[in-house]
Structure 1
Amino acid sequence: MIPGVTLELILYVTALGLVIIGLAGVVLSSHLFRMVLALVIAEAGANLMLVLSGYRWDAVAPILMQRAEQPAMVDPVPQAMVLTAIVIGVGIQALAVSILIRIRQRYGNLKRREVAEKMDAEIAASAGIRRDISQDEPLGERPLSPLPAHTAESRGGDA
């Protein structure tokens, strides 16, 4: 093993790496299912960090016994939080996958941009909004540049 590198450091770096990989997957992916998988990876890293935060390397399980001396014990609260987070995470993942199934059935694919465009078009059609407005021209009568100096002076302003 490399001098100065402990198992604790390796586990913390692994947990942080999982969170970073998951967040990068969410940010960089354009496919909705891959985004859900990236969230699962980030969640696993966060859970590992929580477990590591409550673990003591020289401690025993938190079981009380009739001894004269009580040894140092591991903190059970982060472990309970992680169990709760895992249960909630599985429920959210199931919900996300069911929503993805419905999106795939309705729009035909799971590419984020294409699905968003189809959803926008569907919402606009149901609201009766035209979708062919050019983004190059300003809407209304508002000028693109500030008023010329002579126009501001004629109004009595200080330009």
Structure 2
Amino acid sequence: MINLPYIAVTILLLIGFYGLIFRDNIIKTVISVGILASAANLFLVSTGYRAEGITPIFTAVPEDMVMVFAVPQALVITAIVIGLAMTTLMLALVIRIYKEYGTLDTKEIRRLRG
């Protein structure tokens, strides 16, 4: 049985790590961190999925009904907010680096620093 969400998580992780390791542009690094955060969020949502599950908002549910696991969904909502704050901070640092060095290439910044 093919589990498509986990395959998508693996692909997103590979893309994110590739961008972190092999790209010299700081903007591409920020994008790669965002892709890694999306992979983590997709993984958490996938763990809470139940086939033919219902939302856990009812107080009286028949015994034969299966509910989805709501904790990963709550964690993902929190992770999205944290990811937004993290991305904002990284982009603010990118702007500061660009104003200081005039480039976003990490090799060039290392050269300019001496």
Mark yes or no: TM-score above 0.5.
yes
- Is it true that 1:35 corresponds to 2:29 in the alignment? yes
Q: Indicate the residue corresponding to 1:108 in structure 2.
A: 102
Q: Which residue identity does 2:78 align to in structure 1?
A: T
Moved over 3 A (4+): 65-70
Which of 57, 78, 93 is 1:99 aligned to?
A: 93
Map of 2:50 onto structure 1: 56
> Aligned-pair distance for 1:118?
2.2
Cα distance between partner residues in 2 of 1:24 and 1:67: 46
TM, length-normalised to structure 1: 0.67
Matches within 5 A, 1:1-159: 4-5=1-2, 9-69=3-63, 71-119=65-113, 121=114
Post-superposition CA distance 1:77-115 (Å, at most 9, x none): 101111111100110100000110011111000000111
TM-score, structure 2 as length reference = 0.91
Give the drift of 1:33.
Answer: 0.7
Question: Post-superposition shift, 1:70?
Answer: 5.9
Change in Cα spacing, 1:99 to 1:67, as seen in structure 2 (3 Å) is closer
Q: Which structure: greater helix fraction?
A: 2
User: 1:89 and 1:110 mapped to 2: Cα distance?
Assistant: 22
Structure possessing the higher radius of gyration over alpha carbons = 1
Q: Larger relative CO (CA 8 A, sep 6+): 1 or 2?
A: 2
* Letter paired with 2:66: A
Q: Which amino acid aligns with 1:52?
A: S
Instruction: Kindly provide the CA deviation profile for residues 12-45 of structure 1, in whole angstroms up to 9, marking residues without a partner as x.
Output: 1011110111011100101111011011111111
Q: Distance in 1 between matches of 2:35 and 2:42?
A: 11
Equivalent residues, number = 114
Q: Is the 8 A contact 1:21 1:38 kept in 2?
A: yes
How far residue 64 of structure 1 moved from its aligned partner, in angstroms, is 2.1
State the shift of 1:65 in Å.
3.5
